[in-house]
Amino acid sequence: MPKHMEKALYECFNPKRGKPGLRRIPVNAGLARKHMDKANKNLRAMKLVHENDLFDWTIICGYYAMYHAVLASLLNVGIRADTHYCAVAAFETFYVERGKVEREYVKFIKRAKQLEEKYAEALDRARGSRISEQYGVEVLTNDDAEWIIGDAEDFVLEIEEVIA
């Protein structure tokens, strides 16, 4: 395992401050199934909002579909994740580094998270502004959102197969 991954996991299990982002728990197949169900609901929502040209929500729903699949995969190996960063780090370690899932799937979720964070930051800027001209609301296009539909569907399907 690369040194940066070892460090990330160590810090997630043993934070200097606050509660851990990762905790060992007994394997919980029931809760893992509920997260996969939620991942699939997010996929359906993603398609619906995309059909209605709500491209920012397409990205958000796609990201959360992948994120809930990650949570399910971790519960399947006895890990509870309480932060997005730690969930992705653990997924990369326990699934990608061990050859259970191709590296491209980590790229899918990281790309979706980056876009989701970009628009969350735009919203935060807008909330902090008092003058409507300064809101700076970015307009998303179909091209910004379309890539996530295939990525999210592939990601969720891959995780379902791996943990089945």
Condensed to tens digits (0 to 9), the pLDDT of residues 3-39 reads 666 788 899 999 988 899 999 999 999 999 999 999 9
pLDDT value, residue 44: 98
Query: What whole-number distance in Å separates Cα of residue 138 and Cα of residue 123?
Result: 9
- List residues bridging with 132 in a β-sheet: none
Q: For the full predicted model, state whether its pTM sits above 0.85.
A: no
pLDDT value, residue 60: 86
- Kindly list the domain boundaries of the chain, sorted by start residue: 3-163
DSSP state of 24: E
Selected from 3.40.50.11390, 1.20.120.330, 1.10.150.110, 3.40.50.170, the CATH number assigned to the domain covering 3-163 reads 1.20.120.330
pLDDT value, residue 55: 85
> Which residues make Cβ contacts (< 8 Å) with residue 143, sequence separation at least 6?
none
DSSP string computed for 65-116: HHHHHHHHHHHTTTEEE-SHHHHHHHHIIIIITTTSS-THHHHHHHHHHHHH
Q: Which residues of the chain have pLDDT under 50?
A: 123, 126-136
pLDDT value, residue 42: 95
